Copies of this chain bind each other. A is one copy, B any other.
Amino acid sequence: MGNATMHDVAKLAGVSLATVGRVLHKNGYVSQENREKVEAAVKALGYIPNSAAQLLKNSCSRMLGHILRFSPNLLFGQISRGVDRAAAERGYSVLSYTKYGSPGEDQRIVTEFISRRVEGVLITSLQEFDQGLLDKLLDAGIPTVRIERAPPGADRVMVDDFQGAYQGARSLVEAGHGNIAFIGMGGDSRVERLRLLGYRKALEEGGITPSPRLERLAEDYSPQEGYRAMEALWRHVGPTAVFAGADTLASGALQYLYQVGARVPEDLSLLGYDNTLATLLAPPLDSVGIQAEAMGRAAVDLLLRRKQRPLAPGEPGEEILVATELETRGSVGPPPSGSR
């Protein structure tokens, strides 16, 4: 019961601990005969090494930590998947913690990670992370990579949001729209600002002057906010196309349009962002797709690279921008013929 140890294997095979080790690690010289005896014993006992003992000896836990801020946004789940898969492929396990915002939580998680000697930490969060805790990780020699939100100079993986928003808005301009609204998130975070700027740039390039009347900034990414924004636009502004800065916002917009009986794309073109929900909505939406899994993978790779070569003091981190890709599904069409 419990579990066989290397000792048991050595005894059963009638050799020394060291020989067992050599067979297991395929290094050093072992006679064919002994090798076979050891392999037979391993099989017979179902020997599985105790990784705690290995870690204690090697200080190499083959675990990564992942701190994830809870968010209704499906994107985070997809990123998480990318992280998990990439880590597994590289022989790492991932210890994930989802934060819900209770006080002291970050502190506890970081302590846990240090205690378990994870080899690196990923942070996927909409909020900034406490610098003191980051320093604690750094002191413990644990590199950190941030996903989605992070101050410049940190190792980070981000969406090319400016480009993505530009790309999305441009598709609306190219469809012939002149009256294009934007439903985005407020706040002055980089991501939100870039999406707005990308949208504006596409308009300007198409000879359209952006107007604040067309820009609705929501409080959060909930469908309710999308609904409200769409309602305001529909009643007071009358755009022919709407670009939602997140699929969840687009879903709320669709709920409003459904209620008033407006059809997409006949009465209004609608474009989402992040492509998390777009295939599930009625109608399926065009959406600016984010390579969420790729982000997770890139973050893991950067983290492992950084472990090999830590940042020199004062050296700026690496920034990886993940490209977006417009997915079209027919929710964008020409402006309704009645309109200007």
Contact = CB atoms under 8 A, between A and B. Distances in A.
A84 B98 contact: yes
A132 to B, nearest CB: 11
B100 A85 contact: yes
Interface stretch (A25-33, A34-42, A188-196, A255-263): A255-263
B280 A282 contact: no
A115 B55 CA distance: 11
Contact count band on A: 35 or more
Contacts of A93: 95, 97, 112, 116
Contact of A280 (B53, B223, B284): B223
Interface string A275-289: 001011111100000
Contacts of A282: 251, 254-255, 257-258, 281-282
B48 A2 contact: no
Interface string A1-25: 1110000000000000000000000
Contacts of A96: 84, 94, 96
Contacts of A140: 2-3, 48
A115 B77 contact: no
B98 A81 contact: yes
Contacts of A114: 3, 48
Contacts of A81: 70, 98
A90 interface: no
Given A94-B95, A95-B95, A254-B282, 6 more contacts: A1-B139, A2-B140, A48-B140, A70-B81, A258-B283, A282-B282
Interface of A: 1-3, 46, 48-53, 55-56, 59, 61, 70, 74, 77, 81, 84-85, 88, 93-98, 100, 111-112, 114-117, 136, 139-141, 223, 248, 251, 254-255, 257-259, 277, 279-284
Give the 4 A-B CB pairs with smallest separation, nearest first. Answer: A258-B282, A52-B55, A254-B282, A255-B282
